[in-house]
Amino acid sequence: MAVDMSMPILIVDDYKTMLRIIRNLLKQLGFENVEDATDGSSALQKLRERQFGLVISDWNMEPMTGLQLLREVRADAKLAAVPFIMITAESKTENVVAAKEAGVNNYIVKPFNAATLKTKLTSVLGNF
């Protein structure tokens, strides 16, 4: 099934610079419908207000981290099926294992490039 390039994507990061970078990279990959949030709590609120096709989230944020956001999403029956990609500088094995156990679909380590982002998006959403 073809990927819906107009699906809304929620990007979450407490660094506004990072949000700009991800938004521009997604735009160049063909995804223009991008919303953002600067922490887990506001992201969760947006997810409950509107249907998103994908969440791309940082880990290290306050007051709610990306891992907590992921757990909340997976625990909510209405949101549980939303694909979730973690983009983070946390690269220890135990981090990846914790994210996987919490139900992450893929994991990108910062710094990353457009090719890595495209590969991970394809892995989660299918070819586009």
Partner 1 sequence: MAMPAADPTLGERLKQVRAESAQPLTKDDVASIIGEVVGTMGGDVSMLDLKLYTELEGLARYIQTARTEIAAIRPDKISQDYIMAATDELDAVVGATEEATGRILDAAEGLLNVADEKIEGPAKDEVTELAMSIFEASNFQDITGQRITKVVKTLKHIEAKIEALVHVLGEEVERARQNQVQEERKPARTTDEDLLNGPQLPGGACNQDEIDRLLASFD
Rg (CA), the chain: 13
Instruction: Provide the minimum distance between the beta carbon of 27 and partner 1 in the complex, in angstroms, as a whole number.
Output: 8
Instruction: Provide the minimum distance between the beta carbon of 14 and partner 1 in the complex, in angstroms, as a whole number.
Output: 10
The one-letter amino acid at 8: P
**12/70 Cα distance (integer angstroms):** 11
Q: Which residues of 2-25 are buried (b: 16+ CB within 10 A; e: fewer)?
A: ebeeeeebbbbbbeeebbebbbeb
Instruction: Provide the minimum distance between the beta carbon of 55 and partner 1 in the complex, in angstroms, as a whole number.
Output: 18
Helix (H, G, I), strand (E, B) or coil at 73: helix
Q: Where along the sequence are the contacts to partner 1 (CB under 8 A)?
A: 13, 15, 17-18, 20-21, 24-25, 28, 60, 89, 110-114
Residue with smaller CB distance to partner 1, 24 or 123: 24
The one-letter amino acid at 99: A
Residue with smaller CB distance to partner 1, 4 or 62: 62
- Dihedral angle of Cα 43, 26, 24, 57, to the nearest 10 degrees: 30
Residue with smaller CB distance to partner 1, 18 or 82: 18
Instruction: Provide the minimum distance between the beta carbon of 110 and partner 1 in the complex, in angstroms, as a whole number.
Output: 6
Residue with smaller CB distance to partner 1, 27 or 50: 27
